[in-house]
Every structure is written in structure tokens, then in C-alpha cells.
Amino acid sequence: MTVHIASTVHVGRHGDASDGAFAEAVGGRLSRVDGPAKITGAAKYAVEQQLEGLAYAVLVESTIASGKVRAIDTKAAEAAPGVLQVLTPDTIISLRTAADWFGTPPPDKPYCPLARDITFSGQHVAAVVAETFEQAVAAAALVKVSYDETPAIVDLSDVKAGDGIPIDAMTKEWGDAQGAFASAPVRICAAYNTPREYQAPIEPHGLIARWEGDKLTVWEPSQWLDGMARTYAEWFGVPFENVRLVSPYIGGGFGSKALALSHGAVAACAARMLGRPVRLVMTRPQTFTGYGGRAATRQTVTIGADAQGKIQSIVHRGINETSMDGMWVEPLGSVISIMYATPNFSSRQNVVRVNSVVPGAMRAPGENPSAFGIESAIDELAYEVGIDPLEIRLRNYAEQDPHAKKAWSTRQLREAFAAGAERFGWARRSPEPRSIRDGNQLIGWGVAAGTYPVRRAYGEAIVRILADGSVEVESSSIDMGQGTYTILAQTAAETVGVRADDVVVKLGDSRFPRAGVTGGSRLAGVMTGAVYKAATSALDQLIGLAISDPRSPFYALQANTLVVANGRIASPRGDGPDVSIAELLKSVGRDHIEATGDTMPANSTPEDRYKNYTTIAMSVPHTEGDYSRHSWCAHFIEVRVDEDFGTVRVSRVVSALDSGRLYNPKLAESQWKGGIIMGIGQALLEEGIVDRRHGRVVNNNLADYLVPTNADIPDIEVISVGIPDPHSSVLGGKGVGELAIVGVAPAIANAVFHATGKRIRDLPITLEKLI
């Protein structure tokens, strides 16, 4: 259990879309309530739990990319000091296959988290459990695995990779795209590639598993407690209620911590077999293969346009890599199908199997590479027809969703372009490439748009008003740094009428009221809604008691309603008593008031609830009903490219973003800036480099897999242009977390073209591509 007491600072009204007058109300700039605990080290992360009898597990991984395990010699490891057990496919207990995240009934076959059939380098083949971590590490090095190796398909460039599997569900077509392209006066066609990228959260994946009889407790960083608890329950054939997931803090997820993975199964098996709690933490290199990063992608974008740059046709073909035995589709048609108006459109996608771990979700999966394609291509079109890259985007502005043919719920993209351009000074841009210079530095300005759909799901929360007048919020949702603790405190404070420092928010325990996955930028909209409803209900109970209980000081007042503010209750007109919540509860003889709130449809069954919170099958399409719902953004970026060295440095970023109403602008701005920083890394630095002889990513550590340092990041200015969107969430917000990374890489590539006259279509834009 984690407790945060908000300490508040009152600030004046902020000049953006937020409507909060004070920091502690919804829309206020309350600082992160979990910040002090993290800064001082008081925050205890999942694997830091001190448990009696803890044993330590270390994984042994395959060193080949394809083939079979011939034999595992565990003798030396078993004889090593402190070793408690050596797990192999032959000795580990058998599990049942769990349903996938859609809840699809799994095949009735056993599941073994240690592999006999090797489909990628770095696959878990054995594990050693010992009394100490050091003993386990040393013994793991003594496990000798021999293989029968077969040729691997190492990446998308492999001649054996082929064209892949068509994913018909990804096909989006209207009009006659090929015909219109053929007859268009202006035509461009180019291929855009993005490499494997990795979430690289600073907290590596790991867990502690402890069994008590048939009850399992797992302390594990998680973006989805209920989904992971279900998976553990299904693996071990125990009731869902028997599994408790605890995840009070998460040191970054970026999509990588939403699922229970095979290393978790290994640790839970070891704990069950030993009858002791077991801790397993991946090494940094293991995190590059223990779960999937962003799949490598390839896209071809062809645009037919008239001489004024008005788009007539877009033909798009995409492929992404997946693993040999898993299916990951990175939806490459997601942005290209909605960003611009076009009468004719075709997008299709294939998925190619390679010998890698199954790729996974990474900040804006699909939208991110999709935007790199279309936002680079439309920039190429702008130069082809000789008009400003911003103007061509406005000329092709989509007034409605071109694919769903529905009205946008809200689309402040035009406003984003205007606000960003003004602040950046875009009107002063010299149109010619290589036309701005400062000594050896070529300077370029680029623009690109981004978008992310409003993914809606359901959540529930309990709000308790306690005897001392404080308020407690509980939910099994999580805070991985985005600010859930803080915005839920603000929501409860404003709704009940107390100060935010009188609200305690408890998250990260699957015993609390349930929540779906924290992914797809949906949590804030879902959970503020659930807390708002629960708090409203608790407030109604409180006022109801105050009016109707004969022991209440308000009983004689015969009022219809009362006002609660700053923790005190009074009549709206100010006549009659004025008492604190604590005093009222004492007078009516109650030690607390409790209400549950959820955003589920009325009449939902317990089965609906279970399915909703433990699978993603019930998330609501963003085009449900009359509207198409998305967040939007526009990035304006300046780069300086050294003409001799080819080094690209981002020197200025102005981004204007529409995430609807902001529950806390300070936190939203931080998330936007984080997304932009991650986008700078994607554009310039990040790439999993595969040794093609071994099918292995060799830069599998944070010294060689480069993410940006502070020195790489200029001041970033973000501008909120959103307005409340009642179609997107209860309180009017749209998604924040993933939006801002979308469009950063193409804005940088476009700026690099403007600076140098060189169009880089393969990320990252490293110096050898420019010298």
C-alpha cells in the first residue's frame, strides 16, 4: 500500500485550456504528490520488498537465434555454493497456457516459460535459484547449454524473410487510389524505415513472487495489475482472486510493463517449487530480449496531387517484423489514413516473421512510425510543388475523419499549427534548403503533425470520507510517472470539497477496485471519471446525512442541499451552522462514508466487469457513435547540422498540442516534453543493431543503445491548444502520454532536409548518413 499526502501550493489561473483556479482543483498545476518520496528514496519499488527467506533467480538465455536445445548440463551449477535449484524445461513445473490480452480462449496445452525450441537469441532456457543473488549469477554462468542450430531469419532485410503475412484487418481503402495516382499531375513515392527501438525504462523488469498455499502475491512493476493477475491465475490454474499484484511505483514503462511475461512465470514457478519467495530481476542486456521493443518497420508512401499540392490519392504499403511464434501488428496505416483529406486511399500491411522476441508496445505503437511515413512524404510533396510545408498541411486539412467519415469530436490541429508557427516564427522561414547558415552549422526548420486516438475503457474506484474529514481514494490503476496519484487527488478534492492535502490516494494493488490497462493514453480520462463518480456519490451521501439525520446540526434547517468546501459544510445561503466534515460525521455517529464509482455501462454483469478489467476486449472504439476522437499536435523544430561532421543537434522545439482539457497542465506538459525528448532520441540516436550472423542485438545496454542525455535536449516549449471534449471522457480530457512523440522524428527529418538538402528516410539520422 502506498500513501501520498498532497502538499499544495495555490497558484493563480493559468492561461491555457485548463480551467482550474487553484493547484489542487482539477485543471490546477499541483506538483506530483509522489515526487518527494521518489526524490528522497523513500519510495519502495516492487523488487525492494524485504521478505523473510527470499531466494534469488537468475536467467540463462539462448546464445543462438534458431534451433533446438540439445542438452542442458546443470551439474556444475547444481554443485555450486548456495544453489537451491536449477530450472530447465525438463524440471520446471508445467503451467497452463493463458489467454492473450484480448481474452481469446487459449489452446488447451501446457505452457513452459523455458524454451526447448529456440526462436530468438536471448530466449530463456534455464534459471538458477540460489540463496544470494551473487551465487545465482555465478552458478548461472556454469549452466552449459548445447544446441542444434538452424538458419535464422535475422531481420526484414534477410533474403529468407519474404513478403510476410497480409493482415486484412489493417486494410483501409476508398475511391480508386491506384487510378487516381496514375493520373495525378504531381507524384511522389518514397520508402521510409524505422529500426528496432527499445522502451529502456530506467527500472528493469523484475519481480518477487511469493506463494502462501494456493495464493500468490507478486510484487512487480505493472501497467496493468488486473490483466497480469489474470495471466498468473490462468498459468497456475488458481482463481483470479487468489493472485495479488502489488505495484506501488513503476520506474518507467513506455508500454513494456503491461503483460505478465515468461520471466515472471519462471520466478513464480521457482517460488512454488521451493516454497520460498523468489526474486528475479533482468539484467539490462536481458531487457533487450526479455520482451519486445518497437518492431522494425518499412513503409512505401506514394502521393498523387494536383499542381497546387492538393492530394488526389495516397497509396501506402507497410510491413513490420514479428516473431516466429507470436503476432505483433504495428498499425502503420493509423495516421496516414486520417491526417489529410484525400478522395482516394489505399493502405495495406503485411507482417514478417523473423527470429526475434515478439515485438511489443512502445509509446504510440503504430501512430509513431505511421506518422514518420506520411509526415515525411507530405514534406517531400511540399518541396515538389514548391509550397510551404505548413501551407500544404493546411491545404489538405481533413475537416472530418477521412476514413470513418465522421465528424471530429474536437480537432484543434489548425489552432496548433497557428499557435506553434507564431511562437516559432515560422513566417520568417527561408524556403530554400541550405539557405540558413551559422559558420559551419547548416540550420533547418521542419514541421510535422501528430495524432493519437482517444482510447476509452472503464475503471472503478472507491472514495471514502473518513472520520477525521480526510478523503481516501483506492484503485488498482497505477502511476508510472505520469501523475495518477496527483490528478486523482485533485479530482477527489474538487468533487468532495476538501483540500488536496486532505486526500490520500492508494494505487498499485490488485485488491483495490479494478482498472484496465494503463496504456494507449487512456488512464487519466478513465480514472478521473471513476473517481469523480465515486466522489460525487460519497458527497451525496454526506449531504444526505447532514440534511436528514436527526442528529445532524443541519436537520432543523430543512435545506434541500448543502455546500461542502475546504472540508466544511454549510448551507448555500450561509445561514445556519458551519461545521467541519469531521464534526458532522461525529454528530451523526458515522466513522466513514464510502462510495464506489465506475464508468461501466449500466447493468454490467460481474462477467462484463471481469472481462473489462482483465482483457482489452471491451475498450470502446474511438469512432464509436457520431464522432471520431483523437488528440492532435504540431511540432516546429530547428536543427543545426555540422556540414563537415554530419552531426545533427536539435536547437529549438515549439510544439502545440490538443489533448482536450488538461487535468493538470504541469503534469501534461511534462509528459509532452518527455514524449518529445523520446522522439528526439528516436530521430537521432536509437536503433537496436543486429549482428546478422548471430541474429542478436549487440548494443543491448545503455552505454551502446543511445538515448538522449540532457546535453542533447534544448529548451522545449509546449503550448496547450485543447478545449474540453465531452465526447472523449467524463471530464473532457483526451490522451496525453503518447501524443507528443508522434511527429517528432519526421519534424526533425524535415528540418534536416531543410538544413542540408538531404532527405533521410531511415531512422536514426546518424552522422554517416549526412557526411
Q: Per CB under 8 A, does 39 bind another protein?
A: no
Q: CB of 684: closest distance to another protein in angstroms?
A: 8
Site for another protein, residues 42 to 71, rule: CB under 8 A:
63
Closest CA to 235 of 112, 103, 327, 328: 112
Given the complex with another protein, which of 142 and 473 has the nearer CB atom? 142
Among 85, 135, 299, 484, binds another protein (CB under 8 A): 135
Distance between CA atoms of residues 592 and 607, nearest Å: 30
The count of chain residues that interact with another protein, using the rule CB under 8 A, is 41
Return d(Cα 298, Cα 231) in angstroms, integer.
33
Least Cβ distance, residue 529 to another protein (angstroms):
41
Please, which of residues 429-468 interact with another protein by CB under 8 A?
440
The reply to whether 685 sits near another protein by the rule CB under 8 A is yes
Going by DSSP bridges, is the β-strand pair 437-438/407-408 parallel, antiparallel, or unpaired? Answer: unpaired
CA distance from start to end of the chain = 54
Cell numbers standing for residue 498: 476538501
Residue/partner pairs of 114-117 with CB below 8 Å, 24 or more apart: 114/87, 114/88, 114/89, 114/262, 114/266, 115/62, 115/69, 115/89, 116/68, 116/69, 116/89, 117/68, 117/69
Q: At what angle do helices 484-496 and 523-548 cross, to 10 degrees?
A: 30
Q: Which one of 69-77, 467-475, 683-691, 740-748 is the stretch in contact with another protein (CB under 8 A)?
A: 683-691
Residue type, 553: P
CB of 768 to another protein, least distance (A): 4
DSSP three-state, residue 739: helix
Residue 173 annotated in active site: no
Of 35, 36, 82, 576, the one binding another protein by CB under 8 A:
82
102 binds another protein (CB under 8 A): no
Q: Does 151 bind another protein (CB under 8 A)?
A: no
Residue 483 lies near another protein (rule: CB under 8 A): no
CB of 153 to another protein, least distance (A): 18
Peptide bond into 764 cis (omega under 30): yes
Which of 11, 137 has the CB closer to another protein? 137
Which stretch in 333-341, 408-416, 550-558, 637-645 sits in contact with another protein by CB under 8 A? 637-645
Does 703 participate in binding another protein (rule CB under 8 A)? Answer: yes
Q: How far apart are CA 373 and CA 507, in angstroms?
A: 38
CB–CB of 648/752 below 8 Å? Answer: yes
The grid cell for 665 is: 497542465
Binding-site member from 66, 121, 223, 750 for another protein (CB under 8 A): 121
The smaller minimum CB distance to another protein, of residues 196 and 411, is found at 196
Residue 145 or 362 with smaller CB distance to another protein: 145
Q: Does 134 bind another protein (CB under 8 A)?
A: yes
- The answer to whether 740 touches 671, Cβ cutoff 8 Å, is yes
Minimum separation from the CB atom of position 751 to another protein (A) = 17
Task: Report the alpha-carbon distance of residue 616 to residue 116 in Å, rounded.
Answer: 30
Of 239-247, 333-341, 631-639, 682-690: span binding another protein (CB under 8 A)? 682-690
The percent helix, strand, coil of the chain (3-state, each to 5) is 25, 25, 45
In the complex with another protein, which residue's Cβ is closer, 558 or 710?
A: 710
Q: Does 644 bind another protein (CB under 8 A)?
A: yes
Q: Is 711 in the site for another protein (CB under 8 A)?
A: yes
Do 269 and 93 meet the contact criterion of CB atoms below 8 Å apart? yes
Say which DSSP state 696 is in. E
Grid coordinates of 565: 468546501
Of 68-76, 224-232, 366-374, 762-770, which part binds another protein (CB under 8 A)? 762-770
Q: Is residue 119 at the binding interface for another protein, with CB under 8 A as the rule?
A: no
From the CB of 138, what's the least distance to another protein, in Å? 4
Which residue among the candidates 384, 432, 738, 768 is catalytic per the annotation?
Answer: 738
Helix (H) or strand (E) holding 731: none
Helix (H, G, I), strand (E, B) or coil at 452: strand
Q: Report if residue 715 touches another protein, rule: CB under 8 A.
A: no
302, 314 Cβ separation under 8 angstroms: yes
Catalytic residue numbers, as ranges: 738
- Please report, as ranges, the residues that interact with another protein according to CB under 8 A: 63, 80-82, 121, 132, 134-135, 138-139, 141, 285, 440, 642, 644-647, 649, 684-685, 689-691, 693-694, 696, 698-699, 703-704, 706, 708-712, 766-768, 771
